[in-house]
Amino acid sequence: KSMLRINNVSKIYNGSITALSEVSLDIPEGEFVSFVGPSGCGKSTIFKIIAGLSDPTSGKVEMISPDKKETVMDRNEVGFVFQHATLLPWKSVLDNVSLPLELKGVSKKERHERGKEVLEMVGLKGYEKALPRQLSGGMQMRVSIARSLIAKPKLLLMDEPFGALDEMTRQNLHYELLKIWEKTGMTVLFITHNVFESVFLSTKIAVMSARPGRITDVHEVPPYDRNE
Ligand code: ADP
Ligand code: ADP
């Protein structure tokens, strides 16, 4: 069953820069899809359009909620992770992670309970009271992932989340992310320009090229045991 249909989407900035040209892709529920391509091929642009932060010049993106059939998905069901962890430095790890629920008016008791759950999912049990600056870059990224999971998104958008991390930290986070993906059954869309990363993580790889931004190829990655 489809979760997301990208239908003939084009984006032209300022009437002159064609960031995306007639991009189409059908994404079934539960897939882990990487978007791979050089800088400027429109990866961020397609994500912004999927997220509803930017409108396509033509074409459309349809999200289908897994619960209701053929209805548009609630934007609340989308989680985001960016390259930089963007944590609030004056708030504790637990408060940072709980922030999306705080903004929705969820009670402190309930959001902290859920916050502890997602911190445990990313391997940060015991760090609830720490401040972001006391954590390493990899741990801050774990906090950022926990925050994206707190509202139980059906779709997770990740824009080069591990690009700024060293190789060892990145590998640990790859395993961690795959565990979370398997456990939650979420659909994950993942931007990277690291081909190895995309092959390791994904079920599907959308290869993009620039000028104009297009999807030139879609590869299915055969299932394999990633722990070998
Ligand atoms: P990527 O994420 O693959 O690096 P982007 O989606 O950021 O690609 O950019 C695609 C193209 O659109 C690039 O040529 C970029 O310079 C251009 N672009 C992106 N955002 C804007 C904007 N707000 N205004 C004008 N041009 C933009
Ligand atoms: P927007 O919300 O307008 O899509 P972003 O969130 O991508 O913009 O912000 C990135 C910044 O980079 C913006 O200020 C955007 O104008 C700028 N930008 C990126 N590529 C270009 C480009 N080729 N020409 C002009 N501005 C660009």
Model pLDDT, residue 101: 95
Model pLDDT, residue 157: 96
Model pLDDT, residue 228: 62
Quick one: which atom of ligand 2 is closest to the CA of 44? 7
For residue 147, the tally of other CB atoms under 10 A from its CB is 26
Model pLDDT, residue 71: 55
- Please indicate whether residue 18, judged by its CB atom, sits closer than 6 Å to ligand 2: no
pTM (predicted TM-score): 0.88
- Please indicate whether residue 43, judged by its CB atom, sits closer than 6 Å to ligand 2: no
Does 89 sit behind a cis peptide bond, omega within 30 degrees of 0 on the bond before it? Answer: no
- Please indicate whether residue 17, judged by its CB atom, sits closer than 6 Å to ligand 2: yes
| 59 neighbors 9 (Cβ within 8 angstroms) | yes
Nearest-CA residue for ligand 2 atom 16 is 13
Q: Can you tell me the distance from the alpha carbon of 146 to that of 80, in angstroms, rounded to the nearest whole number?
A: 10
Q: Which residues of the chain have pLDDT under 50?
A: none
Q: How far is the CA of 109 from the centre of ligand 1 (A)?
A: 42
ipTM associated with this complex? 0.70
